[in-house]
Each structure stands twice: as structure tokens, then as C-alpha cells.
Amino acid sequence: MRQQVVSLEKPSFWQQVFLQSKVNGAPYHGEKLPGHSWNWPKNTYLQRRLRYLRTSGFVDARNDMAQEECRN
């Protein structure tokens, strides 16, 4: 495992994140941010692939095999 060198002069990225967090007393203006409406992406490659596997019966066959293994 590689040894990590820690510099005492400049805080690391994560040290800066924690130092600037609301919990540590830093100012936080998140409540004042404008609301944003967000939707899940549609018709992505992974969604199309899963749909294809489900319609081809491959996913069902894998589920059946996994359930059979659990019973044994």
C-alpha cells in the first residue's frame, strides 16, 4: 500500500470541504438557493438494455436460477 504524504501547510481538498461545512460553523446559504425541478433521465442505454433483457427472457431465467440456488 502506498504511503500518503500529508502537507501541514495547505489543507487537502477534503479538509477544506469539512472546514467549510455548515456543521463546522461556516456560513451556508443553501436554504436561499432557488428551487429546481429535476426529472430522471429517460430512455438511457442501461434502461433500453434492461428492457431488452427482460423481453428476451434472459433476466427471468437468471432470477429463476438464483432462486433455485438459494433453495439448495
Q: Which residue has the cell 427482460?
A: 54
> Grid coordinates in use for 21?
461545512
User: Quick check: 67 and 60 in contact, CB under 8 A?
Assistant: no
For residues 31 and 69, give the distance between their C-alpha atoms in angstroms, rounded to a whole number: 50
pLDDT of residue 61: 63
Cα→Cα distances 67→14, 56, 59, Å: 43, 19, 12
pTM of the model: 0.38
Q: What is the pLDDT of residue 1?
A: 62
pLDDT in the model for residue 19: 85
Over 80: is that where the pLDDT of 13 sits? yes
User: Does the pLDDT value for residue 39 go beyond 80?
Assistant: yes
pLDDT for 43: 97
Length of the chain: 72
